[in-house]
Amino acid sequence: MSGLLTVRDAIRDFLRKYDEITTPLIRFVIALIVFNCVNSMYGYSGLFERGMVLFLLAVISALVSDIVVVLIAGAVMCVNAFSVSLEVGVLFLLMFILIYCMYMRMFPECSWILILVPVMYVLNLQYAAPLIVAIFVGITGAVPAAFGILLYYFSTYVKEVYDILNAAVVDEEFQAFTYIVKGITKNKEMIVAAIVFAIVIVITNTIHRLSFDYSWYVAIGVGAVCNIIFFIICGSMLDVSVGGGAVVMGSIVGALVALVIQVCKSVADYSKKESVQFEDDEYYYYVKAIPKLGMPAKNKNVKTITEKEETVAQEVRKRAPSHQESRTGTGRQRIQSEDRTRSSASYQAGRTSANRTNPVRANTGSGRTSAGRTSTASGRTGTVSGRTNINRSDINETDKE
């Protein structure tokens, strides 16, 4: 099971990673299969016999929603029906409008079932359809499945009308509208298929929603058995010949496909289920928790550290300076640098003010301080000022004499 889950998760991760490419590509392939099957049921128009037309329709379907794809397929059927005769085309158009108003307009997310069921009939997998619809959609899929059965059997009567109209001798009183309506209303095989589809879908989905262990897988098995039993019983009651081998093989294929779908959706680990019960002021709560099985965790390499390696690591930690100490040393250096910058700036400001007050003193002092240290600059400047005063007094005395 772990290998299967690993493959499932790998495929799921790949599809999610390249979603912009894989989703349109998958939709294109499915749409191409659908239009080829529709063309095999209603292949009366020469327009859709060209492969390029079907290719372009598949490309368009890959880029639009599901309900638009269903409408495109309905348009292809309608054009083919009008190619047979005007009466057949009008009858199909009225029937499709009725289906759209009754179901497709209100439940667009399940509209693809309308096309899935006729395609399964064309592929001879009609007995697998109820199980697939039950797992994919649930009880709400019974109605579109019945409409899909109607579309398929309508195509069989359209083919009969086409053969009659293209025969060598045609009855002038023949009415295609009346022939198709009477044939559909009296077709017991179609009625049996619609009844059995509805019963199997309801039973399978009801068991699937129950809370006992392995209910999902029990629902698929019970649905397959009910599919076989009810087709045989209803066929015998309404005098409809039902191939037993075809029913059995179709039910087995449907069960396998439904099982694959369920595994792709989720797998529960019932061995680790937990039940919790609690209450509040208004309700009692009974909760049952079951974990999902997923891809097992990757193996991790665990290295065991010996006593010697631990001692060496501690010595290295003691010798290496801590982060806080390095941060403190860096802070001190930064503060010292700021103090030096500030002292230098204050000294320069003092010199500038002195120069503005006494230009002679400033010139003399500046020459001497440039050759000396900053600490003795003020003393030397004072000495120079004294000498300058003495020289001025000597000059004054000489002038008096």
Is residue 131 within 8 A of residue 254, CB to CB? The reply is yes
Is residue 188 within 8 A of residue 239, CB to CB? The reply is yes
Helix axis angle for 323-357 and 359-371, nearest 10°, is 140
Structure tokens at 208: 């699937």
pLDDT at 278 over 60: yes
Is residue 157 within 8 A of residue 179, CB to CB? The reply is yes
What is residue 286's three-state secondary structure? strand
Is residue 200 within 8 A of residue 128, CB to CB? The reply is no
Alpha carbons 301 and 304: distance in angstroms, whole number: 10
Is residue 216 within 8 A of residue 261, CB to CB? The reply is no
- 215 versus 199: the higher-pLDDT residue is 199
pLDDT for the residue 172: 59
Residue pointed to by tokens 């509040």: 280
Structure tokens at 188: 């017991």
Residue pointed to by tokens 């390499």: 301
Q: Of the candidates 156, 235, 144, which has an alpha carbon nearest to the alpha carbon of residue 196?
A: 235
Is residue 129 within 8 A of residue 116, CB to CB? The reply is yes
Lowest-confidence range among 85-94, 299-308, 358-367? 358-367
What is residue 294's three-state secondary structure? coil
Overall size of the chain counted in residues: 401
Alpha carbons 33 and 357: distance in angstroms, whole number: 102
Task: Provide CB contacts within 8 A for 365, sequence distance 6+.
Answer: 354, 377, 380, 381, 384
Amino acid letter for position 41: M
pLDDT for the residue 324: 47
Alpha carbons 88 and 374: distance in angstroms, whole number: 114
pLDDT at 169 over 70: no
Lowest-confidence range among 95-104, 221-230, 370-379? 370-379
Give the Å distances, CA to CA, from 377 to 38, 353, 354, 358, 384. 107, 15, 12, 16, 11
- 267 versus 334: the higher-pLDDT residue is 267
pLDDT for the residue 388: 43
Is residue 380 within 8 A of residue 365, CB to CB? The reply is yes
pLDDT for the residue 397: 44
- Residues of the chain with pLDDT > 90: what percent? 16
Task: Provide CB contacts within 8 A for 44, sequence distance 6+.
Answer: 80, 81, 83, 84, 158, 162
Task: Provide CB contacts within 8 A for 279, sequence distance 6+.
Answer: 285
**pLDDT tens digits for 110-155?**
888 888 899 989 888 888 889 888 888 888 888 999 999 999 999 9
| Cβ neighbourhood burial of 21 (10 Å; 0-12, 13-18, 19+) | exposed
Is residue 262 within 8 A of residue 5, CB to CB? The reply is no
Task: Provide CB contacts within 8 A for 308, sequence distance 6+.
Answer: none
Lowest-confidence range among 68-77, 304-313, 342-351? 342-351
Backbone angles phi, psi at 120, to 5 degrees: -65, -35
pLDDT for the residue 376: 40
Q: Of the candidates 325, 377, 336, which has an alpha carbon nearest to the alpha carbon of residue 355?
A: 377
- 169 versus 50: the higher-pLDDT residue is 50
Burial of 233-269, coded b for 16+ CB within 10 Å and e otherwise, reads ebbeeeebebeeeebbebbebbbebbbeebbeeebbe
pLDDT for the residue 400: 43
**pLDDT tens digits for 66-99?**
889 999 999 999 999 898 888 888 999 999 999 8
pLDDT band at 225 (very low <50, low <70, confident <90, very high): very high
**pLDDT tens digits for 16-39?**
888 888 889 999 999 999 999 888
Alpha carbons 82 and 62: distance in angstroms, whole number: 27
Query: What's the average model confidence in pLDDT over 190-218?
Result: 89
Lowest-confidence range among 78-82, 141-145, 163-167, 199-203? 163-167
pLDDT for the residue 342: 60
pLDDT for the residue 84: 87
Could you tell me the pTM of the whole model? 0.67
Is residue 351 within 8 A of residue 364, CB to CB? The reply is no
Kindly list the domain boundaries of the chain, sorted by start residue: 2-165+175-274
- The mean pLDDT of the chain is 77
CA quadruple 217, 218, 221, 222: dihedral positive or negative?
Answer: negative
Phi and psi based region of residue 303 (left: phi greater than 0; alpha: psi -120 to 50; beta: remaining): beta
Lowest-confidence range among 55-59, 97-101, 152-156, 333-337? 333-337
pLDDT at 398 over 50: no
Phi and psi based region of residue 138 (left: phi greater than 0; alpha: psi -120 to 50; beta: remaining): left
Alpha carbons 352 and 355: distance in angstroms, whole number: 5
